Structure 1
Amino acid sequence: MNEPVASETYAAQIRRLAELTARVAAQRAEAHTWYAQQCAAADRAVAEATEQVRRAETKVAEAREQVERVDAEATHLWGQLRARMGAGGRRLGDPPGPARDASGDPVPLLRGVRELLDRTRQPGELPGSVNPLLVCCGIGGSVVAYALGLGARALGHGSGGDLAVGMPVLALVVTLLGPLVGLAPARLLADRRHAALTPRPMLVAAGAGLVTTVLLLALAPR
């Protein structure tokens, strides 16, 4: 049979067991506290990361909208520049893309371009000094139209049937349109001088062409 344990030893073991139990309970409570702290820290980190992602997405959306606005404004300003240059603006082509090494805010740059375009003068009227050239345009257009009419009339005389009847009529129509033919070179002249072809230079060119056409018809052999 086992020997009985002394009461002092049994009491000591009970106290030791109680101490160990209290220590384990304290360590378990400490572990639970640490776990709760880690979970709370992880939750805070996830919340902060989510907020950072949201702010980043907002900034990306704002940047995309700004890029679209800048592209639209650049295209608009490029169109205004082409319009100011007249016929020569066709050689400019499409608006250039963004530079790879570009930096800074593009809004002030676009504002500066807009102000520069506003300061440039609008296409004005051709000066009176080019009236001789406009007269030459009108005369040249009428002469070309009259020559075409003579060719059509000659072709009709050398042919038979419907051509013999229709070509003289066509020749007369072409000849009468002579004063308007001179407006084409007059427009080119205005574009080269970055000016608008207003009614005055149109009347000068058309008037010179009309006088030339009347003189050619009056001097034509019957």
Structure 2
Amino acid sequence: MNEPVTSETYAAQLRRLAELTARVHEQREEARIWYEQQCAAADRAVAESADEVNRAEREVLAAREAQERVDAEVAMLVQELNARLGGGGRRAGAPPAPAPDATGDPVALLEAVRDLLRRTGQPGELPGNVNPLLALCGVAGAVLAYALGAGARALGERNDGDLAVGLPVLALVVTLLGPVLGLIPTRLIADRRHAVLSPRPVLVVVAAGLATTLLLLTLPLP
């Protein structure tokens, strides 16, 4: 037969069972807290990852829009450059492809290119080495005007009535316009060289034309 358990032993067992139960409960509580902490950390990591993904998507979208703006600006600048260069095989061609190792702010680089095109597109003055050609234009204009005037006077002498009176007057007006007639080819020369018609070339042409006209008027008529 089993021996009966004493009350002291039974009480010790109850105390041990209570301690084990409390320890198990404490460990379960620690496990629950750890689990909740891990879940919260995982939720935070997921949220942070989602924010980083959204931020990266916004950055990619902004970069794509910036690239499109830069490409459009480059295409416009190349088109303007081709218009400046004109034909003759001097055209810049298609816009260049992006360089993989390019550095620097594209906005600043584009602004520098725009400033360069603005400065190169501003017309300058005709150089001084074209003065002989300008003087020749003035002489040619005066000679042409004088020849037309002489022809009108000769035609008036061969007629009578209103033509005999009007043609000499017309001949004088045409002759007096000789000094400025050379400005027509001078303007073409300036446009050809993408230059402005400043006072200096105008004075050269008018002075040469005026001197030629005075010289022709002082010559004795045949």
Report the counterpart of residue 100 of structure 1 in structure 2: 100
Deviation per CA, 1:34-82, whole angstroms, max 9, x where unpaired?
Answer: 0000000000001001101110110000000000000000111111111
User: Does the alignment pair 1:11 with 2:14?
Assistant: no
* Conserved 8 A contact 2:82-2:92: yes
Query: How many angstroms apart in 1 are the aligned matches of 2:48 and 2:57?
Result: 14
Whether contact under 8 Å (1:75, 1:95) holds in the other structure is yes
In the superposition, the TM-score normalised over structure 1's length comes to 0.56
Name the SS of the counterpart of 2:96 in structure 1: coil
Q: Secondary structure at the residue paired with 1:120?
A: helix
**Which whole-Å CA distance do the structure 2 matches of 1:123 and 1:88 have between them?**
21
Give the CA RMSD over aligned residues.
Answer: 2.9
User: Partner of 1:213 in structure 2?
Assistant: none
- Are 2:98 and 1:113 aligned? no
Compute the displacement of 1:88 (Å): 4.0
- The answer to whether 1:65 aligns with 2:65 is yes
Shift of 1:89: 6.7
Paired amino acid for 2:28: R
Alignment check: 8 A CA contact 1:81 1:89 kept: no
Q: Distance in 1 between matches of 2:12 and 2:79?
A: 99
CA distance in 1, matches of 2:31, 2:53: 32
Counterpart residue identity of residue 50, structure 1? A
TM-score of the two chains, using structure 2 as the length reference? 0.56
Which residue pairs with 1:48 in the alignment?
48
How far 1:195 sits from its partner (Å)?
6.9
CA distance in 1, matches of 2:11, 2:89: 107
1:83 to 2:83 alignment? yes
Q: Which residue of 1 aligns with 2:33?
A: 33
Matched to 1:13, the amino acid is: Q
Distance 1:37 1:20, change over 3 A: same
| Contact in 1 for aligned 2:81/2:92 (Cα 8 Å) | no
- Alpha-carbon separation, structure 2, partners of 1:81 and 1:91: 8
Q: In the alignment, residue 23 of structure 2 is paired with which amino acid?
A: R
Q: What residue number does 1:182 align with?
A: none
State the percentage of identical aligned residues: 64
Q: Distance between the aligned counterparts of 2:125 and 2:85, measured in 1?
A: 15
The total of aligned residue pairs comes to 141
